[in-house]
Amino acid sequence: MGKPKVLIIGSGGVGTISALSLTHNNKSEVTLIVRSDYELIKNQGYSIDSCTYGKLKNWKPHNLAKSVDDALEKYGPFDYILLTTKNIPDGPITCEEIIEPALKTGKEVIILLQNGINIEQPMIEKFPQNLILSGVSLIGSTYYNGHVENKGLDSVFLGDFKNPPIHPESQDKINEFISIYHNPGLNDIKQDPNVQKTRWEKLIYNSAFNTVTALVNLDVTRIQINNANEEIILPAMKEVIAIAKSVGIECDESKIEKFLHIGDGFFYSPSMCIDARKNQLMELEIILGNPIRIAKENNVNVPVLNVIYSLLKMVQFRLKEERKMFIIDPKDFKGNSNDYPKIFEEKYVHNK
C-alpha cells in the first residue's frame, strides 16, 4: 500500500499551512490546487513566515495543480479531500460543485476545514456515499501574492459531524488523518467528539467581529475604540449562544470574555473584513445566514444579528452586482417597493 493521497482545495493561509503540515510529516502524498496564482507558485513557490515552521523560501508541496480536473488527471484518485476554500453557497459556484470532479471512487473522505454552521448537510445530501468529516481550524494565517504569514499555532479539531457517527469507517479515518497531519511541537490536531460545539463556539467570535469589521471597514481595535464591545459585539455573542442552546449545544460562556479581548491592541482585521476590502464575496450565509435561519425556526430573538445580516446582505448584493452575477433591469421594479425582494428572488436568483 502506498501513502494516502490528499487533495487540498483552497490555497490561502489555512490551506497552504495544511499542505505544509502534511508535507512536513511526509506520511502522505499532498496535492495542492492553486488557481489564480498557479504560475506564480509553480515558478517561485511560496515564501512562508511561520511561528512554528520558521521562514521558508520557494516552498512547494509534493504536487501542484491548477484545477480539480488537472489534479485528478495527474495525481488522482485521492483518499482524502481537504476543503479549505471559502464557503460561499450564494456565490457563482458551491463547494459541492467544486469538489464533485474529484469524487471518482465513492471512498474519498471529505474533510471540511471551513468556517460556519450547517456546512456539512449540503455535502452529505450531494455525496451520501462518502464519509464527511468536520474540521475546525484555530490558526492565525494569511496569504497574499505568494507569501504566507502564519502568526498562530496550526490547531485543528477533527470529528464526525454526527455524534454518534453514522459511517462505520469514521473512527479509522479520523485516526489515520491525524497520524499523517500531526507534527509534534509544530502543530496540534486532535479528535473532537463534539466538533459541532466547537463550531458554534468559534462562531461566537466570527459572527460578531468578522461581520461588524466587514460592515464598517475597520479593524477590531478601531471598532473597540468606538465602544463596539458593549453596544454590538457582546449582545451579538450572547445571541449566538442562545441559538446554539436552541439546538441542544451548550456553549462555554467563558468564551465570550476570551473572544471579546483576544485581539486587544493588535489592530487585527478578520478574514471577512479583508474580503470586503478586496471586493471579494464574503462567507455571509454560513456565518450569519444559517444561524439566523435556525433562530427563526426555533423562535430565538436575535435583533442585533438580524440588523448586521440585513446590512451585510446589501454589501454582498453590491459585490455580486459589480461582478455581474446579475444585471438589474429597472423595468422589473415598478409599483410597491414591498414586492421588490420577491421580484428579485424570482427573476434574478431562481432563474439565474
pLDDT 10s digits, 332-346:
999 999 999 999 999
157: enclosing H helix or E strand: strand 154-160
Contact at 8 Å (CB) between 15 and 8? yes
The pLDDT, as a whole number, for residue 352 is: 52
The pLDDT, as a whole number, for residue 236 is: 98
Catalogue all structural domains in the chain, each as residue range(s) with its CATH number.
5-193 (3.40.50.720), 197-322 (1.10.1040.10)
Amino acid symbol at 296: K
Portion of the chain with pLDDT greater than 90, in percent: 92
Average pLDDT on 67-96 reads 96
The band of 277, judged by pLDDT with boundaries at 50, 70 and 90, is very high
* Residue 111 dihedral angles phi and psi, to the nearest 5°: -115, 120
pLDDT 10s digits, 17-54:
999 999 999 999 999 999 999 999 999 999 999 999 99
Q: What share of the chain is helix, strand, coil (3-state, %, to 5)?
A: 45, 15, 35
Closest C-alpha to 255, from 212, 193, 203, 191: 203
Average pLDDT on 272-298 reads 96
